Amino acid sequence: MSGLDVAYGRAQALFGVDLWAPGGSLVCVMGRNGVGKTTLLKAIMGVLPAKKGKIEFGDRDITRLKTHERVRLGLGYVPQGHETFPQLTVWENLQVALEASPGGGDKSAVDEALDLFPALPPLLRRRAGFLSGGQQQQLAIARALVTRPKMLLLDEPTEGIQPSIILEIEAAIERLHSELGLAILLVEQYLELALRIADRFVILDAGEVARAGERADLQDESVHRLLAV
């Protein structure tokens, strides 16, 4: 994307944001609370309109496409707070995603998604609203994967999750990236996690790109100052 401006009414949230995520890469979007990270993902997905600038996916300009059109092109999105369907079972949540996939989806995609999260198969008949926060987050990621995305957008998937589940989610993200070659744009607060798994990073500050670079650059003290609360 290039020169992206996004506003909530008269209040502008993003200012001229440039971001490059090469195919198959894992890019961490970082920054303090309220700097525009979630807004950025929503703009990429078309949940929020771009006031100015261009968003490209592959060789396609998607700036004016609707959200469902972007999903059909291969964007998958897991918003902050998991947002599963609480009255539906785990299995039904996955089936909803499958039915919404292009061409009705591929049933094997459900098995592949469940294979990433061993805790979910025993819970297939349980309503999502009765899952723990960590289990709901795993379900939300699995549901997004059922559509077989070319790029996955994850908004703070480890926020408020117990440490054991964080490790499982991190392992799944690493597997998707390293073994399956899935491009991932990950909003993440934890520098330690970014240091372990990111290829590249972008740090936002007050709605602008304050720093961008390769994983090795995350060791720089100036990066730490930008992330300090």
pLDDT of 229 above 80: no
Query: What percent of the chain has pLDDT above 90?
Result: 79
Q: How would residue 114 be classed by pLDDT, with cut points 50, 70 and 90?
A: very high
Alpha helices, DSSP H only, in the chain? 37-45, 67-73, 90-100, 108-116, 133-145, 163-178, 191-197, 221-227
Sign of the CA dihedral 87, 90, 91, 94?
Answer: positive
Residue-number span of the structural domain to which 39 is assigned: 2-82+149-227
The predicted pLDDT at position 162 comes to 86
Residue 93 domain flag: no
Residue 101 domain flag: no
- H-run or E-run covering 211: strand 208-214
Alpha helices, DSSP H only, in 64-132? 67-73, 90-100, 108-116
Residue 181 domain flag: yes
The predicted pLDDT at position 105 comes to 67
Cβ-contact 127, 89 below 8 angstroms: yes
Residue 197 domain flag: yes
Residue 126 domain flag: no
pLDDT of 82 above 80: no
Q: How far apart are CA 34 and CA 87, in angstroms?
A: 31
Sign of the CA dihedral 155, 158, 161, 164?
Answer: positive
Query: What percent of the chain has pLDDT above 70?
Result: 98
Provide mean pLDDT across the span 171-200: 93
Q: How far apart are CA 165 and CA 46, in angstroms?
A: 30
Residue 67 domain flag: yes
pLDDT of 181 above 80: yes
Q: How far apart are CA 135 and CA 182, in angstroms?
A: 22
Of 173, 179, 180, the residue nearest 137 (C-alpha): 173
Q: How far apart are CA 107 and CA 87, in angstroms?
A: 22
Domains: count for the chain: 1
Residue 121 domain flag: no
The predicted pLDDT at position 103 comes to 64
Residue 155 domain flag: yes
Cβ-contact 91, 125 below 8 angstroms: yes
CATH number assigned to the domain comprising residue 185 = 3.40.50.300
The predicted pLDDT at position 39 comes to 97
Q: How far apart are CA 44 and CA 47, in angstroms?
A: 8
pTM of the model as a whole:
0.93
Provide mean pLDDT across the span 21-37: 94
Provide mean pLDDT across the span 145-168: 91
> HSE on the CB side for 95, CA within 13 Å?
7
